[in-house]
Structure 1
Amino acid sequence: MQLQIKRTLERIPGGMMVVPLAIGALFATFIPGTPAFFGSFTGALFHGALPILAVFYVCMGSTIEVSALPRVARHGGVLLATKIALGIACGLVLGHFLGEAPIASGWFAGLSTLAVVAAVNDTNGGLYMALMNQFGRPEEAGAYAVMTLESGPFLTMVTLGVAGLSAFPWQTLVGAILPLAAGIVIGNLDRNMRTFLGAAAPAMIPFFAFSLGTSLDLHRVWSAGLLGLGLGILVVAVSGVALIFTDRLSGGNGTAGIAAASTAGNAAAVPALIAAANPVYKAAAAPATILVAACVIVTSLLVPLLTAAWARRMGVSAHAVDGVVPAEAQDHA
């Protein structure tokens, strides 16, 4: 008997990220001693998000075809620039009032510049590609080849620096983007390596998601539930309006814009990476991780519904079959 595990996960918005993340959080909440009890490889998996993410970025980078960038730059470049501008705007405004530290008490306890910037900066690529496969054109699906430059902590580090908050040593900035850059170089030097490494990237998502989840205590998530829910809605609303506007200016119908108004699952790792690079963000990292994880879930649920509704408004009908990306889109993904 075969269980349709993969198909079931793919039917859940952001399922490959959200479900393992939730499973990891359940372990952290109810049986936190599991990694210490088993140790060895099992214990390492509970604390292995950073090395898995490093390899993930190499594999993801290998899928970015430099020669294809001009063909998709109009869509991907506009969406990427909009996300960067939004992150900088949030960093400037919140940085002026909050600085690097989180709010200590009250309804907004735990909210920080780091949490908002990390949630805004990075798009859920798998969700975007799936939605563009259903409601977009091949070049819009391929636009994510440009938008993958959002991935990782580099853009958030730059945004926080531009906002006038604590800067990062140049070595840290370079180190944050080196895995992605190495993947881009390898993938463009050898198409076979692009195929080899690119195929490995999706398989790593549930593993680093689980590991990230093991750092989230659901009691704390529940306590920050309303704030996380509100932040997720705010991310979709603010970035969605801006992205729809710029997408239409670039010749689209706005569908790609709203499809990009989400928070990537790997963005939940960014606060910890930022704090590791600059200890001034240590106090903000833990609550920011919880809030960004909440944004991942909220945006993963809202964005597909809003994208489908917007596509209907634009007179676009779904045209995907079993979630398979069209061949042209695969070439640029």
Structure 2
Amino acid sequence: MKIMKSMEKIPGGLMLVPLFLGAIIHTFAPKSGEYFGSFTNGLMTGTVPILAVWFFCMGAGINIKATGTVLRKSGTLVLTKILVAWAVAFIGALFIPEGGIQTGFFAGFSVLALISCMDMTNGGLYASIMQQYGSKEEAGAFVLMSLESGPLVTMLILGTTGLAAFQPQAFAGAVLPFLVGFILGNLDRDFRDFFSKATHTMIPFFGFALGNSIDLTVIAKTGLAGILLGVLVIIITGIPLMLTDKFIGGGNGTAGLAASSTAGAAVANPMIIASMKPEFMPVAQSATALVAASVIVTSILVPIMTAYYSQYMKKKNKGKVVTKGNQFTA
């Protein structure tokens, strides 16, 4: 049976398939973890420890000796993504109530959902797209996108916009596993090679654990709103990313469009934030459902849009060369 390959054909499948499996169990048998107890309960409810290991391995896999071109490109994209998410949070807080929108087409929308969708890029998706439509340096720009992974950036945005206050030790606790992994991975290449292999291995496990905290009836309620949010993520983050890629990063905008997705790991952020700040718990489930929908929508649309845009730019540049050649020969 080709179960693994079938999962990989689904955008974000390694994350989303286990997540929905866990959500099905939680929806129809919410006490399963308690009933079995022991290791089974730990596997179904251990989102935080599983993510802690994943963040450590993610940090260990980053090589500080990346080229200057890669760092400039990735730094431009990461900072732009974060700044756009911050602006969205600031503006959203003016119009969206603290408990999120409760009724109507936008029911479930909250500032937490918006930030979680927009502050993290799907690095793996970006790298695979740019390997096909960009240069090696552009493909390698995902090196800093790992810094967006986890709740730290979301916490910083919530804190700096005045939407939540976190104790300094909470920030340190959120980033410490990542930093320890980063330091060890750069002190010893063997450490980096060993731990970086576990990055993908951990994805289904935290997807399954996260799914066991989601009620599928909440996902059903998002409906078209989840699809709309995915489209908004591409528009709201994609345009600034394309502009900064072109005018600062030295590209033609293709890398910026390729970075306008929602990371699969972002699905975990609402629940993690809610575990730290219980006042977000009422909107955490709906935010998780919306982020999951955004992951799927952006994973499908971003590669298609990037392919068309890349072809358009190639034709445009080819036309310029031909025109110049004709003028020269004339």
Instruction: Give me the TM-score of the superposition, normalised by structure 2.
Output: 0.90
Q: Which residue of 1 aligns with 2:204?
A: 206
Q: For structure 1, which runs of at least 5 residues remain unmatched after alignment?
A: 317-333
C-alpha change, 1:134 and 1:298, in structure 2 (3 Å) is: same
Q: Which residue of 1 aligns with 2:122?
A: 124
Which runs of structure 2 are paired with 1:122-271 in the superposition (5 Å)?
Answer: 122-249=120-247, 250-271=249-270
Q: Is the 8 A contact 2:18 2:211 kept in 1?
A: yes
Q: Is the 8 A contact 1:69 1:146 kept in 2?
A: no
- Residue 139 of structure 1: how far off its partner (Å): 1.2
Q: Is the 8 A contact 1:99 1:165 kept in 2?
A: no
Q: For structure 2, which runs of at least 5 residues remain unmatched after alignment?
A: 316-330
Matched, 1:5 2:3: yes
- Distance in 1 (alpha carbons) for counterparts of 2:290 and 2:160: 23
Q: Which amino acid in the other structure matches residue 94 of structure 2?
A: H
Q: Is the 8 A contact 1:69 1:145 kept in 2?
A: no
Provide runs of 4+ in structure 1 moved above 6 Å: none
- Aligned partner of residue 260 in structure 2, secondary structure: coil
- Distance in 1 (alpha carbons) for counterparts of 2:250 and 2:84: 20
Q: Which amino acid in the other structure matches residue 268 of structure 1?
A: V
Q: Which amino acid in the other structure matches residue 282 of structure 1?
A: M
Q: Is the 8 A contact 2:56 2:177 kept in 1?
A: yes
- Distance in 1 (alpha carbons) for counterparts of 2:168 and 2:13: 36
- Distance in 1 (alpha carbons) for counterparts of 2:310 and 2:34: 49
- Aligned partner of residue 106 in structure 1, secondary structure: coil
- Residue 34 of structure 1: how far off its partner (Å): 3.1
Q: Which amino acid in the other structure matches residue 97 of structure 1?
A: F
Q: Identity, % of aligned pairs? A: 48
Q: Is the 8 A contact 2:15 2:203 kept in 1?
A: yes
Q: Which residue of 1 aligns with 2:305?
A: 306
Q: Which amino acid in the other structure matches residue 309 of structure 2?
A: W
- Residue 69 of structure 1: how far off its partner (Å): 5.8
Q: Is the 8 A contact 1:61 1:182 kept in 2?
A: yes
Q: Which residue of 2 aligns with 1:68?
A: 66
C-alpha change, 1:139 and 1:234, in structure 2 (3 Å) is: same
- Aligned partner of residue 143 in structure 1, secondary structure: helix
- Distance in 2 (alpha carbons) for counterparts of 1:195 and 1:135: 27
- Residue 284 of structure 1: how far off its partner (Å): 2.1
- Distance in 1 (alpha carbons) for counterparts of 2:191 and 2:229: 39
- Residue 35 of structure 1: how far off its partner (Å): 2.5
- Distance in 2 (alpha carbons) for counterparts of 1:80 and 1:99: 28
- Distance in 1 (alpha carbons) for counterparts of 2:124 and 2:253: 18
Q: Which residue of 2 aligns with 1:285?
A: 284
Q: Which amino acid in the other structure matches residue 133 of structure 2?
A: F
Q: Is the 8 A contact 2:11 2:299 kept in 1?
A: yes
- Distance in 1 (alpha carbons) for counterparts of 2:216 and 2:114: 20
Q: Deviations for 1:288-318, whole angstroms, at most 9, x for unmatched residues?
A: 11111111121112112212222222339xx
Compare 67-76 and 45-54 and name the one that shifted more.
Answer: 67-76
Give the count of matched residue pairs.
314
Q: Is the 8 A contact 2:218 2:285 kept in 1?
A: no
- Residue 99 of structure 1: how far off its partner (Å): 5.4
Q: Which residue of 2 aligns with 1:40?
A: 38
Q: Which residue of 2 aligns with 1:275?
A: 274
CA RMSD of aligned residues (A): 1.7
Q: Is the 8 A contact 2:215 2:285 kept in 1?
A: no
- Distance in 1 (alpha carbons) for counterparts of 2:97 and 2:56: 32
C-alpha change, 1:44 and 1:89, in structure 2 (3 Å) is: same
